[in-house]
A = this chain, B = another copy of it.
């Protein structure tokens, strides 16, 4: 089930360096949790919990800082689904999401399953940053 390409320490370090960031213990530890080859959707809190559980020495503030830096560097994508919570998606390819309202959980839609047709011209002076499609699901 799924190809688990565990990222090597060298590749991870390189990826962080390329982003213009020092490969500190904290960034390496969080990067290892995030980029373990499986596409993931985590909140800052969840990632902090994992870090604590696996002995990555990091504070919650640094988790927030690191997530933001990784997003800015294009290593992660931020997804808004529920109010008041950001999800961070390790799959940065163009795709959309199911959001399970009852479970507060994001799930990828396969690429191409939803296509947004005929994007409108953005108002003058504006450019499209991205298009978010979230299909909200509730238990039947």
Contacts and interface: CB of A to CB of B under 8 A. Distances in A.
B116 A114 contact: yes
Contacts of A127: 137-138, 140
Given A98-B123, A117-B114, A123-B98, A132 B134 contact: yes
A55 interface: no
B101 A129 contact: yes
Q: Is the interface of A mostly helix, strand, loop or mixed?
A: strand
Task: State the copy count for this chain.
Answer: 2
A131 interface: yes
Given A80-B81, A125-B140, A133 B116 contact: yes
A115 interface: yes
Interface string A108-140: 011001111111101101111111111111111
Interface of A: 78, 80-86, 98, 100-101, 107, 109-110, 113-120, 122-123, 125-140
Contacts of A107: 123
B133 A133 contact: yes
A66 B134 CA distance: 26
A139 to B, nearest CB: 6
Contacts of A113: 118, 120
